């Protein structure tokens, strides 16, 4: 009996795993055509300077509006795109679209802001990344100083010389590099000394409860001090409540991003947000 039950259990997992794999394959099939079918969009989330309160940047976040499934979260399809290699053309589209949009905002007379684009480790290892970024900049005419690329610590696992070369070539384009979700990945801090990054994005998990959790607060304080000691800027992610803003200012954190200031929004809405922020600052 035990043997039979064991076997059934095995079959049960097998079937659910198979269903999951099928689900992923169906989603991947749909994702293949998403670019041509214009189902991908970028939303933009404001980033603010904590001293002046000015909006100084926008993170571009991908959205997939799938006709049958509705809005599919990047948490669901980015891993699929990475495993299949589709992230390379999708990532190239994101870069072109974000640069085009940022240049258009400039031409429309909106205040200059930096547009931050997420890069997958798969794109980073792909030989054409530097060319893809250079092309997106050239095609859009965007000032490279207004482009920031967000990398994660996962890029640092593996061939250090290859990483070093890619970082140097990207920086030579005149853009900025930040480390996303800082504090949750690779723990060898020597890389911060070796590579020319500009900013650490302090992970939401430390920021979220820093007003009630002394450990989170200590981590945020330590990250800011370390970053400044190394000549790097800091931005706190996931700032959902006003209480956190004062505390981040006290800890000398430079910038902040989160629902408290604004959710990721479609480009038209973001342009309105920027224009309103400017008139508030002028008042």
Residue 87 C-beta: closest distance to ligand C2E, Å: 6
- 148 near Mg ion (CB under 5 A): no
Whether residue 179 contacts residue 201, with contact meaning beta carbons closer than 8 Å, is answered with yes
CB under 5 A: which stretch of 22-30, 83-91, 182-190, 234-242 binds Mg ion?
A: 234-242
For 210, residues 6+ apart whose C-beta sits below 8 A from its C-beta are 216, 217, 220, 244, 247, 248
Report residue 25 as tokens: 């394959």
CB under 5 A: which stretch of 131-139, 149-157, 210-218, 252-260 binds Mg ion?
A: 149-157
Residue 259 C-beta: closest distance to ligand C2E, Å: 4
Residue from 147, 259, 151, 253 nearest 202 by CA? 253
Judged by DSSP in three states, 153 sits in helix
Report residue 75 as tokens: 């948490």
Residue 75 binding: pick among Mg ion, ligand C2E, none (C-beta 5-8 Å cut-off by kind): ligand C2E
List 88, 120, 147, 150, residue binding Mg ion (CB under 5 A)? 150
Whether residue 34 contacts residue 41, with contact meaning beta carbons closer than 8 Å, is answered with no
List 47, 101, 118, 178, residue binding Mg ion (CB under 5 A)? 118
Residue 57 C-beta: closest distance to ligand C2E, Å: 13
Cβ distance to ligand C2E smaller for residue 167 or 236: 236
CB under 5 A: which stretch of 169-177, 191-199, 209-217, 229-237 binds Mg ion?
A: 229-237
Report residue 149 as tokens: 């690329």
Residue 267 C-beta: closest distance to ligand C2E, Å: 14
CA-based torsion, 213, 215, 218, 220: positive or negative? negative
Residue 260 C-beta: closest distance to ligand C2E, Å: 7
Residue 240 C-beta: closest distance to ligand C2E, Å: 4
Q: How many residues bind Mg ion (CB under 5 A)?
A: 5
Cβ distance to ligand C2E smaller for residue 113 or 193: 113
List 148, 153, 181, 255, residue binding Mg ion (CB under 5 A)? 181
Residues in touch with ligand C2E (CB under 6 A): 45, 61-62, 73-75, 78, 91, 94, 118-120, 150, 180-181, 204, 238-240, 258-259, 264
Give the C-alpha separation, 82 to 88, whole Å.
8
Whether residue 253 contacts residue 202, with contact meaning beta carbons closer than 8 Å, is answered with yes
Cβ distance to ligand C2E smaller for residue 195 or 257: 257
Report residue 43 as tokens: 């939303």
Give the C-alpha separation, 270 to 158, whole Å.
38
- 254 near Mg ion (CB under 5 A): no
List 153, 180, 254, 255, residue binding Mg ion (CB under 5 A)? 180
Whether residue 117 contacts residue 60, with contact meaning beta carbons closer than 8 Å, is answered with yes
In terms of DSSP H, where are the helices of the chain? 2-32, 74-84, 87-107, 121-125, 129-140, 160-172, 190-194, 204-207, 214-229, 242-250, 267-282
Residue 29 C-beta: closest distance to ligand C2E, Å: 20
Catalog residues that contact Mg ion under the rule CB under 5 A: 118, 150, 180-181, 237
């Amino acid at each position: 009996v035990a043997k039979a039950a064991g076997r059934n259990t095995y079959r049960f997992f097998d079937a659910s795993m198979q269903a999951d794999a099928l689900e992923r394959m169906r989603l991947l099939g749909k994702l293949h055509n998403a670019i041509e079918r214009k189902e991908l969009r970028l939303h933009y989330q404001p980033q603010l300077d904590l001293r002046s309160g000015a909006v100084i940047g926008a993170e571009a976040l991908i959205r997939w509006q799938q006709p049958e499934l509705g809005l599919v979260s990047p948490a669901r399809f980015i891993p699929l795109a990475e495993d299949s290699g589709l992230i390379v053309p999708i990532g190239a589209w994101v870069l072109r679209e974000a640069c085009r949009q940022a240049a258009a905002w400039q031409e429309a007379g909106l205040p200059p802001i930096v547009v931050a684009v997420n890069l997958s480790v798969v794109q980073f290892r792909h030989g054409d990344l530097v060319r893809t970024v250079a092309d997106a900049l050239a095609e859009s005419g965007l000032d490279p100083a207004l482009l920031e690329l967000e990398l994660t610590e996962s890029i640092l696992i593996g061939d250090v010389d290859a990483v070093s070369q890619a970082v140097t070539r990207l920086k030579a384009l005149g853009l900025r590099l930040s480390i996303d979700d800082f504090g949750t990945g690779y723990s060898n801090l020597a890389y911060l000394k070796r590579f020319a990054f500009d900013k650490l994005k302090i992970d939401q998990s430390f920021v979220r409860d820093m007003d009630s959790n002394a450990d989170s607060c200590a981590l945020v304080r330590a990250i800011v001090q370390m970053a400044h000691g190394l000549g790097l800027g800091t931005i706190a992610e996931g700032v959902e409540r006003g209480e956190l803003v004062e505390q981040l200012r006290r800890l000398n954190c430079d910038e902040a991003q989160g629902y408290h200031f604004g959710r990721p929004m479609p480009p038209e809405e973001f342009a309105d947000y920027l224009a309103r922020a400017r008139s508030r600052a002028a008042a």
